[in-house]
Amino acid sequence: MMMMTMKATTLCNSSVFSNTFPCSSSSSSSSALCPNFSLSLRLRNLNLSTTTTAAPPQSSLVVIDETSTTNEGDLAAASASAEEESSSKSAARRLILLRHAESSWENRSVRDHDRPLSKAGRSDAVNVSSKLQQLGWVPELILSSDAARTQETLKIMQEQVQGFLEAEVHFISSFYSIAAMDGQTAEHLQQAICEYSRDEMLTVMCMGHNRGWEEAASMLSGTAIELKTCNAALLEATGKSWDEAFALAGLGGWKLHGIVKPN
């Protein structure tokens, strides 16, 4: 028997292979012609029917660096510490002592407590409020006598300057009567300011009457001060709070920045 080497494409047109193998020329069938053909075909079919399962893709992992995570408790503690440190620092406390604008005496039958402003007084209130705004002395807290002339003075100032309208306001009836009592106004103002103010309020204005207002301004500054109608004494002391500012400055220790006048 003569052996020959030939490709499967020559023996079997229905199958295409790239492998070569020995084949016998005397066989009449494909299996007889090529004893190894059937085995190779079966192996080939087996390989073709085998399904290869791909490995599932790896899931993406997000790695969190826990060392960089900010603790909310630490943030709150740091914020509280900063606020405490800020509040513990001394600050300039500015005090405006303003006498009411000129009142009208046209109607003598009106009680002193109820007298309104004169035309000149209304004009003066406009001018003084504008000057205080220009100087940057706009109060956050206003304590005022409840007399008609002080209330009208404040109303005009609020209409003129937005900052006066935004300030916290308290009308204190004792401001009207205390002004007539010798040597008591400064202490009374201190008590009222410490009662109504908060530490974050740095500018306070007290509105009232003579003789008490110019007496208080003189005692706090240690300088003889005259306050005519609608005059404002600008005083300053330093402290972590208004209580501390009064305690540290005492009588005569407040710095007098000047007197604001309408004209």
Q: Confirm if 101 and 229 have CB atoms less than 8 A apart.
A: yes
Q: Confirm if 184 and 150 have CB atoms less than 8 A apart.
A: no
Query: Is 211 flagged in the annotation as binding?
Result: no
Angle at 96 between CA 166 and CA 147, to 5 degrees: 75
- DSSP for residue 167: S
Tokens 């079919």 found at? 45
Between CA 62 and CA 65 the distance in angstroms is 10
The one-letter amino acid at 52: T
Q: Is 9 helix (H, G, I), strand (E, B) or coil?
A: helix
Q: Confirm if 211 and 180 have CB atoms less than 8 A apart.
A: yes
Between CA 204 and CA 144 the distance in angstroms is 11
Strand order in the sheet with 168-172: 168-172, 141-145, 203-208, 91-99, 232-239, 255-260
* Cα torsion angle, 117, 122, 128, 132, sign: positive
Tokens 């993406």 found at? 60
Cis peptide bond N-terminal to 211, omega within 30: yes
List residues bridging with 97 in a β-sheet: 206, 233
* Residues of each annotated binding site for substrate: 149
* Residues of each annotated binding site: 149
